[in-house]
Amino acid sequence: MTDSPQLRPARPEDAESIAAIWYDGWRDAHLGNVPDELIAVRPPDSFGTRAAQRIDDTVVATIDNEVAGFVMTLDDEVDQVYLSRHLRGTGVAAPLLAAAEQRIQAGGHSRAWLAVVPGNTRARAFYARNGWIDAGLFSHQAPGPDGPVAVPAHRYVKQFASSPKI
């Protein structure tokens, strides 16, 4: 375990750090595990563009005022969860995932879902340890500049015990 991360909503000035973490993590998790078509539409600059567009959907974890990781949500989906490479396995991801679950539940959803490619065994084990259930394979439609790209993935789901009280 490293120093406890501080969680906060992302700010526009975080986009560059988010993009760098996202690009490195995405490549580590996806190269060799996704269709070549998806790799072709994920050049380095695409992560910067998408990070800036998704600031309002993002929570960051900071350590010593530096962005250490982030999570993005989209409706009832945990869309992205990434950490700086040197922080993987240190316990920083669990609070980020919990923050995503809270955001989804606060949005009125009783269940959350996320997609993980079969070869990303580290992420799959992490989600299982955190109470997520593998609901099986499906064809995830990853956004691309010319339309969705079909990616074989496992759908993980988590049912919330109760709806938040407002």
pTM of the complete model: 0.91
Q: Which CATH number fits domain 6-159: 3.30.420.10, 3.40.630.30, 3.30.70.920, 3.40.50.920?
A: 3.40.630.30
Tens digits of residue pLDDT in 25-59: 999 999 899 999 999 999 999 999 999 999 999 99
Which 3 state secondary structure label does DSSP give 140?
strand
User: Quick check: 150 and 110 in contact, CB under 8 A?
Assistant: no
Angle between helices 44-53 and 15-30 (to 10 degrees): 130
DSSP one-letter code for 90: T
Instruction: State yes or no: pLDDT of 88 exceeds 80.
Output: yes
Q: Where are the domains of the chain?
A: 6-159
Tens digits of residue pLDDT in 117-144: 999 999 999 999 999 999 999 999 998 8
